[in-house]
Amino acid sequence: MVLPKNTFQEARKSRGRPRDWDDKTAQNTIKSLDRALAIFEFLSEAPAGKALTVLAHELDQSPATVYRVLVTLEGKGLVEFDQTDQVWHVGPRAFVIGSRFLRRTTLVERARPFLRHLMEDTGETANLGIEQNGQVLFVSQVETHANIRAFFPPGTLSRLHASGIGKALMAEMGAERRAKLLAAAPLERFTEYTLTEPALLLADLEEVRRRGYAIDGQERNLGMRCIAAPIFDVHGEAIAGISVSGPTSRIGPEQVKTLSLAVVAAAKGVSAAIGGAPSRQDG
């Protein structure tokens, strides 16, 4: 059946956005929802959770307002309250929703076969990560079958300077953006091998750019080593990194050369799969 023109247009309107959908002025926003999302996002950045009074103080909101938001979010499973420590955490429902986003993300979908092949080829855990707010966000992983293995489940955050993927991404950043990230917070020390001096880190990043891959040599966790390479998009920008991680007993200095070839090849494969431009190292 063919709908009359006017009927067809009305049907299209009912499925789409309002006429002024692109108007982002205050009249088209919901202040209470905006406040709730701001609280939720702020809480999500605190891995150890936050007490109600701390949240209210840091957000400059009244405890009563913050509490009402938290209770509402708790009812949807987006946050949860730890009775023992008396702090609020992001809830399991947030991960479920986030996973739905990952399922529709081309990068994650296209990278999955390369991650699996990389794990099978090297025998070590393969990881995919992106930069988010000055940290590495791990978005996908294929674990090795070995008893001792690295584990970075999707959603894990790691500081850029103490991560193989983080250093691979930092090495490809513009000098201005990299300087801004370094100035944002002190370089936290995790082990005796962590590069906490900006000059030493910058020298290491230059070496990363030269050879095309980064090494996390026990800089985040003692006894663990990681080799990572950047993934490039259609504009030739590094938008993600791929890596293998494992114990230093299996990934010693003599294994780095061989494993780095597999990691760089996987990064190039993912770049090509998402229509990425050739990397700088490819000319």
Domain locations in the chain as residue ranges: 21-95, 105-282
Q: What is the mean pLDDT of residues 10-24?
A: 51
Question: Facing residues of 126 across strands?
Answer: 142, 244
Phi, psi of 32 (to 5 degrees): -65, -40
pLDDT tier, 6 (very low <50, low <70, confident <90, very high otherwise): low
Instruction: State the Cα–Cα distance between residues 224 and 124, nearest whole angstrom.
Output: 11
| Nearest C-alpha neighbor of 39 from the set 29, 24, 54 | 54
Condensed to tens digits (0 to 9), the pLDDT of residues 62-119 reads 999 999 999 999 999 999 999 999 999 999 888 888 766 655 568 888 999 999 999 9
pLDDT tier, 282 (very low <50, low <70, confident <90, very high otherwise): very low
> Could you confirm whether domain 105-282 is CATH 3.30.450.40?
yes
281 or 198, which is more confident? 198
Check: pTM over 0.85? Answer yes or no. Answer: no
> Could you confirm whether domain 21-95 is CATH 1.10.10.10?
yes
How confident is the model at residue 20, as a pLDDT?
A: 53
Question: In percent, how much of the chain has pLDDT > 90?
Answer: 62
